[in-house]
A and B are shown apart, each in its own frame.
Chain A
């Protein structure tokens, strides 16, 4: 069973075994249409964006104005309507899938933890990647060579224990951390 969540931020518990926790807000979701394989078209609200295709979908499924995002999720529902939260209330472990913070075009020291060179005393090898190839043989750069480039903003899934879930405020508390900035949207999948 999958849910769309928004990362609220991190905190910790008190006690001798104090654990770092991540708070996630489970968004209000509406099941629009069920597919045969247990998945469904689900609508949720994100920003205030609206256009004609969105309005058309809202009209078709009789949704209110704020439900402007549509996604296919595995759901426990047997009919369209509000999303069934029962599997989440009973969950012990979840997989949380978020995009990591985007760092843009990044050098090799930050992206791949290369050591770099001395900063001064006549050196010219500061933060550069250095040699990337061999000699006349093999005469090419090996595949998978670690170089500078886009770092971050990629999908990362982590496996977390569930500490608590409050159905009233819809706040899910996970043990440990998840990727991404506070306020970022991601999806969680109930494992156990």
Chain B
């Protein structure tokens, strides 16, 4: 249990932020604001969320995708980062654990995650 003063301090900051709810195993698309000198542009990054860490303002998540030449690319973001323009959940995955680091060892068809079926 966290301290009530720390919780209320963090809750006040998070209150205005709107981030969709997602879990490990979900496929998400991030719109990332990239600053280059005085210009800024938005780049998309689409992949599977393999872990969510921390709580409160320090909460962060890891997104993994297979890049060019089958090289895995992972990016870590604070959930309430200013550089995240939007977070979009594309697909809910059916997984049995909270951290999917085993995906790092798998390639091709074995690295698939089945879609969650709602009853």
Q: How far is the CB of B6 from chain A (nearest CB, A)?
A: 5
A23 at the interface (CB under 8 A from B): yes
Q: Which of A7-15, A33-41, A42-50, A109-117 contacts B (4 or more CB under 8 A)?
A: A7-15
A18 at the interface (CB under 8 A from B): yes
Q: Interface residues of B: mostly helix, strand, loop or mixed?
A: helix
Question: Counting chain A CB atoms within 10 Å of each CB, which of B9, B10, B17, B57 scores highest?
Answer: B9
Q: Which of B9, B17, B81 contacts A11 (CB 8 A)?
A: B9
Q: Tell me the residues in window 158-176 of chain A with beta carbons closer than 8 Å to chain B beta carbons.
A: 169, 171, 173
Q: How far is the CB of A18 from chain B (nearest CB, A)?
A: 7
* In contact, A12 and B5 (Cβ under 8 angstroms): no
* In contact, A11 and B82 (Cβ under 8 angstroms): no
* In contact, B13 and A23 (Cβ under 8 angstroms): no
B44 at the interface (CB under 8 A from A): no
> B68-93, CB under 8 A of A: which get 1 and which 0?
00000000001011110000000000
**Inter-chain contact total with CB atoms closer than 8 Å:** 43
Question: Counting chain B CB atoms within 10 Å of each CB, which of A8, A25, A182 scores highest?
Answer: A8
* In contact, B9 and A14 (Cβ under 8 angstroms): no
Q: Which of B3, B5, B13 contacts A14 (CB 8 A)?
A: B13
Chain B: CB-nearest residue to A16:
B82
* In contact, A15 and B6 (Cβ under 8 angstroms): no
User: If A13-B13, A14-B57 touch, does A23 touch B6 (CB 8 Å cutoff)?
Assistant: yes
- What separation, in Å, do the CA atoms of A171 and B7 have in the docked complex? 12
Q: How large is the interface on A (under 10, 10 to 19, 20 to 34, 35 or more residues)?
A: 10 to 19
* In contact, A15 and B82 (Cβ under 8 angstroms): yes
Question: Hey, which chain A residues are within 8 Å of B82, CB to CB?
Answer: 14-16
Q: How far is the CB of A158 from chain B (nearest CB, A)?
A: 20
- What separation, in Å, do the CA atoms of A18 and B10 have in the docked complex? 13
* In contact, A8 and B3 (Cβ under 8 angstroms): yes
Q: Which of B5, B58, B81, B83 contacts A8 (CB 8 A)?
A: B5
- What separation, in Å, do the CA atoms of A169 and B6 have in the docked complex? 12
Question: Hey, which chain B residues are within 8 Å of A23, CB to CB?
Answer: 3, 5-6, 9
Q: How far is the CB of B72 from chain A (nearest CB, A)?
A: 27
Chain B: CB-nearest residue to A20:
B58
Q: How far is the CB of B55 from chain A (nearest CB, A)?
A: 11
Q: Which of A15, A16, A171 contacts B5 (CB 8 A)?
A: A171
> B7-35, CB under 8 A of A: which get 1 and which 0?
01110011001000000000000000000
- What separation, in Å, do the CA atoms of A15 and B17 have in the docked complex? 11
Q: How far is the CB of A85 from chain B (nearest CB, A)?
A: 17
* In contact, A14 and B17 (Cβ under 8 angstroms): yes
18 further A-B contacts with Cβ under 8 Å, apart from A11-B10, A11-B57, are A8-B3, A8-B6, A9-B3, A9-B5, A11-B6, A11-B9, A12-B58, A14-B17, A14-B57, A14-B80, A14-B81, A15-B82, A16-B82, A23-B9, A169-B5, A171-B5, A171-B9, A173-B9
Which residues of B come within 8 Å of A, CB atoms?
Answer: 3, 5-6, 8-10, 13-14, 17, 56-58, 78, 80-83
